[in-house]
């Protein structure tokens, strides 16, 4: 039986992290657009790819557009029309019907409306990465697990919070790529940079959502 679970934030950076993110009230726009060479690593994190000409292109134009892709497979991620991250999100989760690869891991990347989805976690230690800096979706678990539901900020290469790693289970048992990045960031005295709003005519590059080498643990 699906039950709703209390969301527990995993970091002390609560005040700087939460900027009206749990409601669907209007927030300042953040438009992104463009094309970036990317791949999804074994933890479901969107990272920049060094492959010059990926053979696959994933184009996302409207909510519901989705593609299942093998982990570590390079692709061109293309959002041709500027989308407002105050209204939309990129969601990365394990594919329902896994693609057969050497490693066996594959992930679904989907463009969704940030105010609409209910995210369902079915197994402990499974990670879902939610790329939206403003809103936390409704989250449910599909079993009677008493494990803690944890959200950890995803940091961009420019030290901006661009979304959240959603995980059912303690990081000591499950591991957390986002927490490793965050802890290293805090130990180095890093400070979170506030996202600046923009307009549809001046969108940020889609590359802002992709982690570079200096963020890979």
pLDDT, tens digit, for every residue of 44-89? 999 999 999 999 999 999 999 999 999 999 999 999 999 999 899 9
Look at residue 51 and tell me if it is in a domain. Answer: yes
**Which pLDDT band, with edges at 50, 70 and 90, does 16 fall under?**
very low
Look at residue 216 and tell me if it is in a domain. Answer: no
* Number of domains present in the structure of the chain: 1
- Rounded Cα distance, 103 and 156, in Å: 27
DSSP codes joined into one string, 120-167: EE-STT-EEEEE-SS---EEEESS---PPEEEEEEEPTTS-EEEEEEE
> What H or E segment, with its residue span, contains residue 67?
strand 66-70
Look at residue 155 and tell me if it is in a domain. Answer: yes
- Rounded Cα distance, 26 and 122, in Å: 31
The whole-model pTM stands at: 0.84
pLDDT at residue 11 greater than cutoff 50:
no
What residue numbers bound the domain in which 177 lies? 3-209
pLDDT, tens digit, for every residue of 142-195? 766 667 788 899 999 999 999 999 988 877 778 888 988 888 888 888 888 988
Give pLDDT, residue 143: 67
Give pLDDT, residue 8: 38
Look at residue 142 and tell me if it is in a domain. Answer: yes
pLDDT at residue 198 greater than cutoff 60:
yes
Look at residue 104 and tell me if it is in a domain. Answer: yes
Q: Do 95 and 44 contact (CB within 8 A), yes or no?
A: no
- Rounded Cα distance, 167 and 140, in Å: 11
Look at residue 217 and tell me if it is in a domain. Answer: no
Strands of 3-4's sheet, edge to edge? 3-4, 138-141, 118-121
pLDDT at residue 213 greater than cutoff 80:
no
């Amino acid at each position: 039986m699906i039950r709703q679970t209390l969301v527990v934030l995993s970091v002390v950076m609560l005040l700087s992290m939460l900027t009206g993110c749990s409601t669907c009230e209007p927030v300042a726009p953040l438009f992104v657009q463009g094309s970036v060479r990317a791949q999804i690593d074994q933890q479901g994190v969107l990272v920049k790819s060094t492959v010059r000409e990926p053979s696959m292109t994933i184009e996302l134009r409207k909510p519901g557009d989705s593609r299942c892709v093998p982990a570590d497979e390079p692709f061109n991620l293309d959002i041709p029309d500027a989308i407002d991250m105050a209204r939309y999100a990129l969601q990365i989760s394990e594919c329902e019907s896994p693609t057969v690869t050497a490693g066996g891991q594959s992930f679904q990347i989907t463009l969704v409306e940030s105010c609409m989805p209910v995210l369902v976690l079915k197994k402990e230690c499974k990670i879902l990465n939610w790329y939206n800096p403003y809103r936390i979706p409704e989250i449910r678990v599909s079993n009677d697990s008493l494990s803690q539901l944890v959200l950890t900020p995803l940091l961009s290469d420019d030290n901006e919070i661009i979304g959240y790693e959603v995980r059912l289970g303690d990081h000591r048992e499950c591991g957390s790529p986002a927490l490793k990045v965050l802890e290293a960031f805090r130990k180095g005295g890093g400070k979170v940079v506030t996202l600046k709003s923009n307009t549809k005519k001046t969108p940020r590059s889609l590359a802002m959502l992709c982690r570079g080498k200096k963020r890979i643990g």
